[in-house]
Amino acid sequence: MAALNDKDIVSALKKNAENGFRLLMAKYKEAVYWHIRRLVVSHDDAQDASQETFVRVFRSFSQFKGECSFSAWIYRIATNEALRILERRRSERLSLDDPEAGTGSLMADEYMDYSDLEAVKLQKAILSLPAKQQLAFNLRYYDEMSYDEIAAITDSTAANVKANYHTAKEKIIKYMNSTD
């Protein structure tokens, strides 16, 4: 099958929602999962947020007016879902020193390769960034999006996104060059 075009997906969603949704999932399921996963880290949270993203895309498709690209619209919904989970987690956070927290028995995420120490260090560096810098870095570095696309996703300007990306990159380089 040829690479799926967003215009074809939008057209299919308008004609036959079920078929259009199948095409949407074929193109975006994995990319959206990994975008969210880089933000929330946990596989289970990423799966939940991905599922909710596609439910929201499907339910609110009639509200898509084409003011930004279809992919930017999807990524904006995915980003909002990831941020919802992070906000919920922040409000539920327990102290790691609290013996009742049960943190001593936490198991490593089975979907993360902890043997690649550089990758783990990079992930820690990214997670140490403020949310806007994290988003700008992830969308530019991993998803190879333009500054304009990222600006549409994050409801910002291309100049702000560029500044956040470059600041994030400098902080990551500094973190990676530091010794633990």
Asked whether residue 16 is domain-assigned, the answer is yes
Provide the CA 92 distance to its chain's centre, in angstroms. Answer: 21
Provide the CA 167 distance to its chain's centre, in angstroms. Answer: 19
Are residues 85 and 129 both part of a single domain? no
- Quote the pTM value: 0.80
Q: What is the pLDDT of residue 74?
A: 97
Are residues 135 and 83 both part of a single domain? no
Asked whether residue 99 is domain-assigned, the answer is no
Are residues 89 and 121 both part of a single domain? no
Q: Any idea which residue has 């619209």 for tokens?
A: 73
Residue 3: give its domain's CATH number. 1.10.1740.10
Q: What is the pLDDT of residue 105?
A: 33
Q: What is the pLDDT of residue 1?
A: 47
Residue 125: give its domain's CATH number. 1.10.10.10
Q: Are 160 and 151 in contact (CB under 8 A)?
A: yes
Q: What is the pLDDT of residue 179?
A: 67
Boundaries of domain holding 120: 112-180
Q: What is the pLDDT of residue 149?
A: 94
The one-character DSSP state at 100 is: G
Are residues 66 and 2 both part of a single domain? yes
Q: What is the pLDDT of residue 180?
A: 59
What string of pLDDT tens digits covers the 180 residues of the chain? 457 899 999 999 999 999 999 999 999 999 999 999 999 989 999 999 999 999 999 999 999 988 899 999 999 999 999 999 988 887 775 544 444 433 333 334 555 556 678 888 888 899 899 989 999 999 999 999 999 999 999 999 999 999 999 999 999 999 999 865
Are residues 10 and 76 both part of a single domain? yes
Are residues 72 and 143 both part of a single domain? no
Are residues 75 and 133 both part of a single domain? no
Answer with the one of 65, 93, 121 that is the final residue of a domain. 93
Answer with the one of 61, 93, 125 that is the final residue of a domain. 93
Q: At what angle do helices 70-92 and 17-40 cross, to 10 degrees?
A: 50
Asked whether residue 38 is domain-assigned, the answer is yes
Are residues 76 and 26 both part of a single domain? yes
Asked whether residue 98 is domain-assigned, the answer is no
Q: What is the pLDDT of residue 103?
A: 35
Q: What is the pLDDT of residue 108?
A: 44
